[in-house]
A = this chain, B = another copy of it.
Amino acid sequence: MATLKEIANRAHVSVGTVDRVIHRRGRVSLETEQRVKRIISELDYKPNILARSLSMTKTFRFGILVPFPEQDGHYWELPLKGIEKAQSELDVYKVKVKYFYYDKYSEQSFEMACSKMLQMVRELDGLLIAPVLSQATEKFLTKIPDRLPYIFLDSYIPNSRCFSYIGEDSFQSGVLSAKLMRILVTAHGTVAIIKVQPMDYHIEDRVRGFFSYFNNNTDINLLTYTVNARESMPYYKITKKIVTENSDLIGIYTPNACAYQVADYLAEHFAGKKIFVIGYDLIKENISHLKNGSIDFLISQRSEMQGYESIFKLYKQVVLKEKVESRVLMPLDIVTKENLQFYEN
């Protein structure tokens, strides 16, 4: 618990000098600078965060670039909840956030949000980006000023200068789903996997993981179907198609938050035979289907914690100037009827 003052005494200088060394504000001779630095590391000096943020005049602003909260079946409300929680906890540390929403199915909307953000970029100290529209995001990244650090949430763009990625290991989450499906289905038969257009690397990765688990397994027949997310009721239609085309259907894997739509159809029009359904994310509709048994497992990627952590990592990187891990992978929680209650809220 060394203080600035102690450092100063030891180095035979004033606190002002030590402060200048720490903040690289110059006006210190090379000799004293080295002496001070040595003593700082000798005493393992850590600035008192309380005092620091108490005296700090600057407030930090982070821009949040994410899809409209209600998209993906209100999925985006979950990370936003975490973001708000982090924001309120970091309020005393003078951290504010500024939201820029976009329609994840419209590049134009995305570009609108980006340009709004760029207009006030001078007031921002860091960005949180959910790069759902990967190509459009890549273009946007080139326009971000070099001084401005950014972090990815939910999914990821390779070869960018982002300082960290907060999210899941999509491939492994596919593997996990496959394992669960394997345990569930006791009989031989067909398992359908529902892909989505427009393509999303993140989701594709889950599907790849799913297939990789079943790689050398022959008694289960894997069949891929593709829906177009811009149509109306796409999952309803595709589920209908799946059940009519496969008399030996035993399971459906929905590698996104839309499992509830599949379960809806099955519950209404296919109640006779048990079809196992595995999906993602603890959104309201999925939860109620998990409760009534028409969804068997939900994989949760700690969406709320993702939002929370990403703001905290921004705080660490920008305000505290600490090193942040370049990948922070959230646990893949297996949620079922019997442990759901502890994951809700």
Contacts and interface: CB of A to CB of B under 8 A. Distances in A.
A311 B100 CA distance: 37
A172 B334 contact: no
Contact of A339 (B49, B53, B184, B331): B331
A222 interface: no
Contacts of A186: 186
Nearest to A52: B50
Interface in A160-215: 169, 172, 175-176, 179, 183-184, 186, 213
A237 to B, nearest CB: 30
A341 B169 CA distance: 10
Contacts of A176: 336, 338-339
A111 interface: no
A341 B330 CA distance: 10
Given A50-B54, A339-B176, A342-B169, A331 B333 contact: yes
Interface in A321-344: 329-334, 336-339, 341-343
A336 B51 CA distance: 44
Contacts of A331: 333, 339, 342-343
A92 B339 contact: no
Contacts of A14: none
A255 to B, nearest CB: 15
A338 B51 contact: no
A224 interface: no
A247 B169 CA distance: 41
A175 B338 contact: yes
A343 to B, nearest CB: 6
A220 to B, nearest CB: 14
A176 B335 CA distance: 10
A48 interface: yes
B333 A333 contact: yes
A333 B343 CA distance: 9
